[in-house]
Structure 1
């Protein structure tokens, strides 16, 4: 019996020895897969310049270097055209001033009022009386006399018509009578002030005499004498040229009519200050009949009337300046480009 038990155990051990149990492993069939590594980003196309980009940039840089020379050359050429325009303008003004003077009458006055360019730089002749109490002093304006520069003013006075004269003008006009020194202006203003004070005193005396009627009763009445007529002065004859308002620069201060300060010609403003309509005609006297004993006001001559702030000779100077600057900057640009080629 013992032998049979040992035999049975031996058989069981042999049967179980052929099948070994392996340790269990966790299942990986449902685990998430790791993400793939990111792909390398492509390089931008700007990092790969085109073959002709360098040549194009070089061409633009050359044009930029030569641009100042071209601009200054154009400005110099423009000054030549401006010079030619000024020559034609001066010739036109000179030709107009050499014509015979035109008598100022109602027909001419109406024509000028409608179109002032009709008599531009034409001499006109008019007669009337100067209202010196309403004179306007424009300045200060310097003038060179015998090589000495002196400050002064232009005096603008209304010319009032005289109805009794057949050749008199029909409506008031403003006349630039010419240049006066500062001392002459101060004396004129002082005389007007003294005249105003004298008139005020006479008016006050007249009122006092009217009140003192008792003195008239006791005083002896003077004998009446025949009235002596004062000699009538002939009308003032003015030969001038019709002009317009000035265009002041930014450096000229504005006019101050309330203070009597006039720095440039503004015809409507001066006319209002003198009690005249704004469309009053303004002329500049150019009468050459100057008295040696009383030379002031000194009228403008023909050269002063046709003179412009920028004359043809000035345009030649500007042309030379611009052309010189153009040559200088062009030379520097060419030298810069040549230096770059040598380095390459």
Structure 2
């Protein structure tokens, strides 16, 4: 019996040790799960926080866009000023109305196409939409010798439908006398993706490249869009400056803030109220 006692104690000790192993493992597993839940809880909170930040950024972008639209509208309706000759000054005057006097050189017309006619009221109503009138034609760019300045510039006289592109089809509007033109200063353009290259040989232009246009016509790289009031009866229709910018920021604001509200509720229900979602 005395020799059996240590063996009994050893067996009892082993049994007690084995009985505690599952409990330890259970505690470790529970702690790991709690750690994972805590990480997931705070990680998922990034979703409503991020969408809220994006919505707030769009609010600021919308305010900036509204101010820019108002500034462009102010420039295009301001009293016209004499055309400055300083290139550096001109670079800061895009969309500014200027006044020039001189004669057109109709023998060197350039055609920017395809173009649809601009209706300022329609442009304002449909800002941000990808709509089209269905009618296409070209804008007629004509060298204009400024008699008071002694230089030749480029003037976008305005829109003509395709059947009126040939000068002989609109001879009534090909004024030879000295005229006064009020227009909006425009700068050169960079070709946008998917816009074809200008075809100088065939006189088919797709974007406003002032350097190339100046080389072809011998004019200075100064370009203005004639306003509607400068339209000569029977000629191209002026006022073809598109100054309406797309302003879809309110849609983005509603989208981002809506996602923020939805994901915030789901996070609250899952991790605070412990509702299964």
- Show structure 2 runs of 5+ residues with no match: 1-24, 123-131
- 1:53 deviates by 4.8
- 1:263 deviates by 1.7
Query: Is the aligned partner of 1:237 residue 2:180?
Result: yes
- 1:331 deviates by 4.3
Q: What SS does structure 2 have at the residue aligned with 1:119?
A: coil
- 1:240 deviates by 0.8
Is contact 1:155-1:176 (8 Å) kept?
Answer: yes
- 1:239 deviates by 0.5
- Counterpart of 2:143 (choices 151, 158, 168) is 158
Query: How many angstroms apart in 2 are the aligned matches of 1:328 and 1:260?
Result: 56
Deviation digits for residues 73-107 of structure 1, max 9, x if unmatched?
32222221111112222332333344332223xxx
Instruction: State the partner residue of 1:269.
Output: 212
Instruction: State the partner residue of 2:199.
Output: 256
Query: Is the aligned partner of 1:172 residue 2:152?
Result: yes
Is contact 1:238-1:287 (8 Å) kept?
Answer: no
RMSD: 3.5
Query: How many angstroms apart in 2 are the aligned matches of 1:101 and 1:275?
Result: 26
The number of equivalent residue pairs is 237
Query: How many angstroms apart in 1 are the aligned matches of 2:116 and 2:43?
Result: 47
- 1:171 deviates by 1.4
Query: Is the aligned partner of 1:323 residue 2:257?
Result: yes
TM-score, normalized by length of structure 2? 0.70
- 1:117 deviates by 4.3
Query: Is the aligned partner of 1:299 residue 2:238?
Result: yes
Deviation digits for residues 19-60 of structure 1, max 9, x if unmatched?
xxxxxxxxxxxxxxxxxxxxxxxxxxxx99698654443233
TM-score, normalized by length of structure 1? 0.58
- 1:337 deviates by 4.9
The 1:297/1:56 distance shift into structure 2, 3 A limit, reads farther
Query: How many angstroms apart in 1 are the aligned matches of 2:200 and 2:275?
Result: 70
Is contact 2:156-2:226 (8 Å) kept?
Answer: yes
Is contact 2:180-2:230 (8 Å) kept?
Answer: no
The 1:274/1:330 distance shift into structure 2, 3 A limit, reads farther
Query: How many angstroms apart in 2 are the aligned matches of 1:83 and 1:238?
Result: 35
Query: How many angstroms apart in 1 are the aligned matches of 2:271 and 2:196?
Result: 50
The 1:57/1:189 distance shift into structure 2, 3 A limit, reads farther
Instruction: State the partner residue of 1:68.
Output: 47
Query: How many angstroms apart in 2 are the aligned matches of 1:148 and 1:91?
Result: 25
**Which protein shows a greater Rg?**
1
- Show structure 1 runs of 5+ residues with no match: 1-46, 163-167, 193-231
Instruction: State the partner residue of 1:89.
Output: 68
Query: How many angstroms apart in 2 are the aligned matches of 1:331 and 1:317?
Result: 21
Query: Is the aligned partner of 1:109 residue 2:85?
Result: yes
Q: What SS does structure 2 have at the residue aligned with 1:89?
A: helix
- 1:287 deviates by 4.0
- 1:123 deviates by 1.8
Deviation digits for residues 162-202 of structure 1, max 9, x if unmatched?
4xxxxx332111111111111111x338899xxxxxxxxxx
The 1:342/1:190 distance shift into structure 2, 3 A limit, reads closer
Instruction: State the partner residue of 1:39.
Output: none
Q: What SS does structure 1 have at the residue aligned with 2:238?
A: coil
Query: How many angstroms apart in 1 are the aligned matches of 2:92 and 2:193?
Result: 30
